[in-house]
Structure 1
């Protein structure tokens, strides 16, 4: 993969200049997303709507997280000319530091105050370290959300969405969420018709429903020696049954008040919130692994009616059970 050989980075009077800041250890797919989607956008008369240039802190050959390299011809001076700067992820983000490297700080200082800045996946760690996300809503890959929160408590992290738009600053969740974010920016700049045309050319949906929550697989917790662990394990085997708070407390040989307090201390949720989460997770598994009807899944997960399952499922994941099944298992009984 080679960047276009052009000096300077942006030639002529392109209507909108996009600079992609690549770093060592970059993910080639994320770089390709930006180049492909913005590069496809055309006006009604066929004119390019964006000019895209790839730049790095130092021009030259960059390693990626694969067995290929990328030859980048432009340095950070391209950032000063850009109307939009996109920062893809790098494998350096897997061990981030709270402070920004001086060379990166100097490069980001070149960005114009009116330029739009977007990150993809863990590229948001760099924006946060630069202070660009302070007080703003942002997202990152769900696997990195706990670390992000610990390092940057001043950022309003939303790990459940595919992307965020705070006006000048935008962030995308995971790798493919970069597609959603780029289409959103194109839609914002030039309308739905142009964005839809780019989506069709890339053979992707112009808008994906729901958010990251539907892609997060929660690990089975290790109950250890916790005082409510055995009760939780007992309840998980009986999700199809009515489980009242009093029943759970009696099972744990505690008063309702003591059980509720210890449960929240150990799990971080109330018993009712935890039960709902377990029922939604069980429904997800049945939607992925079986061809059961929605009515049957609702009964087996303790929701009773299909309407109750649909309501709680959509509230938790942002999509319907049928849409979730189509995404993770393929078309099946509704």
Structure 2
């Protein structure tokens, strides 16, 4: 908690939610720490941070490591802070389910002029609390389909590391938390102070919000046309677009399209897209409590009984059995 007599340029409330991911939390916090003073003493002179929790005690991360809560809502005035930064976890549905518990806290902070920052799946909590209306949001690519299906009226900025949209700021998570911290610090403390400590963190340079991940751009075995088609399959997962439309979008004939997929992945383009959709269903059943009907919407299937048959055929068990397996895995 901030104790230095110098008035900081920025004050952050950090709110790790139950099951939060440690990587973006530690990355964001350590970037603040390096920018906090002239040396490396962790003094909160130029920016200050306080760990907020719904109640006193500790908050456990997804890895089991716990962070100590410094203050609760009863201890603070939100207007004394510039940003409230929420750190979500691996399960979007679990984070979303926290809305009844955190709604008042978040609405009080917003009403007092604090900018709300969602990192990783914390955007699901802000959306569930009605706090993203009229704002765009950056979502981790793995959860983009899920977010679009749950909140179709909230615009998603695809393939952005973070999005600063007035009093609502969002970050896809992971190491992008460093990039967002640098940008927020630069706006208030100047570029020099914002960049301080990157070398210590073994980071070459901050990335812009529009940075494209090389790990997702490395050409696959089918070349760039197949890679582009796969990206479109992911983006259009819930649509009724056809394979012919996909082939036309990447400027290739349907026959050549299937030839490239067979050569690179051993299946036709249609079979690849069907498998992608079923893998998405599998992941959602294992990692969320959302209904089969909602998950079916995410892949453009209107009949849940038909989807259940597809799941049983592909994975050898019913959707309910698949979900139980995920629950058992998390409990062991």
Q: CA deviation at 1:271?
A: 2.6
Contact kept, 8 Å, 2:137 with 2:155, in 1: the verdict is yes
CA separation of 1:266/1:207 partners in 2, compared to 1, >3 Å: closer, same or farther? same
- Alpha-carbon separation, structure 1, partners of 2:205 and 2:105: 33
Q: 1:76 to 1:268 in 2, by over 3 A?
A: farther
Partner of 1:26: 20
1:121: Cα distance to partner?
1.3
Q: Does 1:153 align with 2:161?
A: no
2:114 corresponds to 1:115: yes
Give unpaired runs (5+ residues) of structure 2: 227-239, 265-332
Q: For each residue in 1:271-300, what CA deviation from the matched residue of structure 2 results, as whole angstroms up to 9, or x when unmatched?
A: 332358x99xx9xxx9xxxxxxxxxxxxxx
Q: 1:57, 1:104 within 8 Å by CA — same for their partners in 2?
A: yes
Q: How many positions carry a matched residue from both structures?
A: 234
CA contact (8 A) 1:10 1:53 kept: no
Contact 1:40 1:48 in 2 (8 A): no
* TM-score after normalising by structure 2: 0.60
Shift of 1:19: 0.4
| DSSP 3-state at the match of 1:106 | helix
Q: Which residue of 1 aligns with 2:30?
A: 36
| 1:208 Cα deviation from its structure 2 partner | 2.1
Call closer, same or farther: CA 1:100–1:72 in 2, change over 3 Å: closer
Are 2:89 and 2:120, in contact at CA under 8 Å, matched by a contact in 1? no
Give the alignment partner of residue 272 of structure 1, picking from 248, 252, 255. Answer: 248
Instruction: Give the aligned partner of residue 73 of structure 1.
Output: 70
Could you state the TM-score of these two structures normalised by the residue count of structure 1? 0.60
| CA shift in 2, pair 1:114/1:95, >3 Å | closer
> Paired residue for 1:61?
58
Secondary structure, counterpart of 2:68 in structure 1: strand
Once residues 248 and 215 of structure 2 are traced to their aligned partners in structure 1, the CA distance between those partners, rounded to angstroms, is: 23
CA RMSD of aligned residues (A): 3.7
Query: 1:70, CA displacement in angstroms?
Result: 2.0
Structure 1 residues 10 and 119 mapped into 2: Cα distance closer, same or farther (>3 Å)?
farther
- SS of the residue corresponding to residue 265 of structure 1 reads coil
Whether 1:102 aligns to 2:100 is: yes
Distance in 1, matches of 2:184 and 2:242, equals 42
Structure 2 Cα separation of the partners of residues 238 and 52 of structure 1:
44
| Residue-by-residue CA offset, 1:119-143 (whole Å, 9 max, x unaligned) | 1111111122222222222111100
CA contact (8 A) 1:137 1:156 kept: yes
Is residue 182 from structure 1 mapped to residue 158 from structure 2 by the alignment? no
Larger RCO: 1 or 2 (CA < 8 Å, sep 6+): 2
